[in-house]
A and B are shown apart, each in its own frame.
Chain A
Amino acid sequence: MPDTNENEVHEPTGGRPIWSGTVSFGLVSVPVNLFPANRSGKVALHMVTEEGTPLARRYYRPRDDKEIGSDDVVRGFEVKKGKFVVIEDDELERLAPERTRDIDLKQFVKADDIDAIYFERAYYLAPAGAGATKAYKLLARVMEDEQLAGIATFVMRAKEYLTAILAENGILRAETMRFADEVRSPAEIGLPKAMKAKPADVKRIVASMKRLTKESLDKRELVDRSAQRLEALAKKKAKSGADVVKVELPEEAQQGNVIDLMERLRESLKNAS
């Protein structure tokens, strides 16, 4: 069995926020819910049986291959080959109780000064509960006015994230970032040192570049062509009626579920007071 990363075990969230806690600056503390700012493409391959029944992943006891429920498993860390130390959920939470509940912005930096290599994944923050909105809007406004990013670390799903909180359109966004020791340098990789380019080479390249240059990027250029081919094939086959099955899909497997999560975020922003 491949090594299983606990952080991936509990996906998807089924419409619930991925993290709930506070964002603080100074002594001001804003209760927020985090929602993913990315979604997976709308076409996905499901694993099914010959008859088309969806497959699910289940745990089995190694001794006798007997199925065990998700309540009968624990998380373990391998300290020696075959020897594990069990780590309980509440122990993980107690390791850093503050950072598990609070994104404490102790530093603000120019948003443009953060190098591209650090950014990992984005989440939108929605104000949570009555009274949260005013402080939320205040923080968003100040950061947007000054084009600043607030920096903090926080713990989500048993992992610490370096994060930048940014504001756009009055909405706060958390961008998780890689820690400095998770980024490799050109020297570490062994890339050659910079050398001076021949002007004739640069000129030739620039000429080719200019023919392809545009001011803006048409999002159609980022289209997932594999997904498009998959969708086209599925539609064509569905029309012919071949191999089409009716099944009961669980709620979280329905295609519309992604939209629901966005709806939740939209609602929490709209109803903020």
Chain B
Amino acid sequence: MWTGEIQFGSVKLPVKLYSAVKDKSIHFRILDAKKHEPVKQHMVDAASGTVVEYHDARRAVQVGKNRLVILDEDELESLEPESSREIEITRFVSPDAITHQWYDRPYYLGPNGDTGTYFALVQALRDQGKEGVARWVMRNKEYVGALRVEGDHLMLMTLRHADEVIPASSLPAPGGRDVSKRELEMAHQLVETMVDEFKPAAYRDEYRDRVLELVDAKAKGKVLRMPKAKAKKTPASLESVLEKSIAAASRGRKSA
């Protein structure tokens, strides 16, 4: 667990950082196809295929087409950020200024001693309806983040850096003919039958369960029954498909 100190103006608040998420993905290993043993991986000279040990590898930056400049140890060291415990808040903005496309990884912050100031900051952010823009160095890496209130607590959301997000406004809207008024009305009607509250717990990673079942069955030498894919019919006109969808949706509502 990492500890730091939020700083802005006269405010100093020592905090502890906790990951707000846990990775539950299934991790596979890469095996030799014949013996089913985990493979080793080496870095090799891409041209000759000769293995290069990690400590013999150099680091380089591309400075033009097919041009690299090699950096030496001292130069790489000079680039490292100065290690610090400070989480500097550089700015407060309204929450819409940072859309979730910038979000990378959420961390909960807990008080590290000064609980009074911790909940005063929660209150202040909530009263003002603001988020802080934060910069800090953690484990030798520089981060930008958003300091926000999540429930009753502080959250530090790491953000992607400028240029790493492709905004929708930089892309052309799809071409082609416009949709008709009738189609639009029907689509609205159809979508409205499906509007509900967001209940994240209603969704489960069933695929993860299925993969584990498959592993289990195979380990026991059994054969797992696989679901059959339903064949999709090619739709007729968009309007008639919408019509059928609305009819099906309202039947579903009545029987529910």
Choose among A58, A113, A180 the residue that contacts B203 (Cβ–Cβ < 8 A): A180
- A201 CA to B215 CA in the complex, in Å? 56
Task: Decide if B204 touches A68 in the complex (CB within 8 Å).
Answer: no
Q: Which of A130-170 contact B (CB under 8 A)?
A: 133-143, 145-146, 148-149, 151, 153, 155, 158-160, 162, 168-170
Q: Do A117 and B69 form a contact, CB below 8 Å, given A27-B241, A72-B33, A182-B23?
A: no
Contacts of B102 in A (CB 8 A): 222
Q: Do A4 and B27 form a contact, CB below 8 Å, given A171-B171, A212-B91, A225-B142?
A: yes
- A60 CA to B169 CA in the complex, in Å? 46
Task: Decide if A217 touches B173 in the complex (CB within 8 Å).
Answer: no
Report whether over half of chain A's contact residues are helix, strand or loop; otherwise say mixed.
mixed
Q: Mark A84-98, 1 if CB is under 8 A from B, else 0.
A: 111100011011111
Task: Decide if B127 touches A206 in the complex (CB within 8 Å).
Answer: yes
Task: Decide if A136 touches B174 in the complex (CB within 8 Å).
Answer: yes
Contacts of B43 in A (CB 8 A): 47, 55-58
Task: Decide if A107 touches B245 in the complex (CB within 8 Å).
Answer: no
- A84 CA to B169 CA in the complex, in Å? 48
Task: Decide if A26 touches B174 in the complex (CB within 8 Å).
Answer: no
Q: Do A62 and B38 form a contact, CB below 8 Å, given A201-B116, A221-B133?
A: yes
How many residues of chain B have a CB within 8 Å of chain A? 159
Contacts of A134 in B (CB 8 A): 176-177, 179, 183, 238
Q: How far is the CB of A191 from chain B (nearest CB, A)?
A: 5
Contacts of B64 in A (CB 8 A): 238
Q: Do A116 and B68 form a contact, CB below 8 Å, given A45-B59, A142-B187, A211-B9?
A: no
- A185 CA to B69 CA in the complex, in Å? 47
Q: Do A209 and B40 form a contact, CB below 8 Å, given A4-B27, A138-B183?
A: no
Q: Do A116 and B148 form a contact, CB below 8 Å, given A39-B166, A73-B30?
A: yes
Ordered by A's residue number, 8 sampled pairs between the chains whose C-beta atoms are within 8 Å are A40-B164, A47-B57, A62-B32, A96-B207, A153-B206, A153-B207, A194-B153, A249-B66
Q: How far is the CB of B212 from chain A (nearest CB, A)?
A: 8
- A7 CA to B177 CA in the complex, in Å? 38
Q: Mark B177-210, 1 if CB is under 8 A from A, else 0.
A: 1110001100110110011111011011111101
Contacts of A45 in B (CB 8 A): 59-61, 71
Contacts of A155 in B (CB 8 A): 207
Q: Which of B159, B160, B161, B200 has most A Cβ within 10 Å?
A: B200
- A13 CA to B177 CA in the complex, in Å? 31
- A214 CA to B130 CA in the complex, in Å? 10
Task: Decide if A171 touches B40 in the complex (CB within 8 Å).
Answer: no
Contacts of B57 in A (CB 8 A): 47-49, 55
Task: Decide if B246 touches A29 in the complex (CB within 8 Å).
Answer: no
Closest to B228 in A: A97
Q: Mark B214-232, 1 if CB is under 8 A from A, else 0.
A: 1110110000001111101
Q: How far is the CB of A145 from chain B (nearest CB, A)?
A: 7
Q: Which of A23-82 contact B (CB under 8 A)?
A: 25-29, 36-50, 52-63, 65, 67-68, 71-79
B255 is an interface residue with CB less than 8 A from chain A? no
Choose among B52, B117, B130, B161 the residue that contacts A223 (Cβ–Cβ < 8 A): B161
- A195 CA to B118 CA in the complex, in Å? 10
Q: Do A44 and B42 form a contact, CB below 8 Å, given A53-B47, A79-B215?
A: no
Choose among B92, B162, B174, B219 the residue that contacts A85 (Cβ–Cβ < 8 A): B219
B87 is an interface residue with CB less than 8 A from chain A? no
- A39 CA to B162 CA in the complex, in Å? 10
- A173 CA to B150 CA in the complex, in Å? 25
- A210 CA to B89 CA in the complex, in Å? 12
Q: Mark B1-27, 1 if CB is under 8 A from A, else 0.
A: 000000011110000001111111111
Q: Mark B78-121, 1 if CB is under 8 A from A, else 0.
A: 11010000000111111001101111001010110001110111
Task: Decide if A201 touches B120 in the complex (CB within 8 Å).
Answer: yes
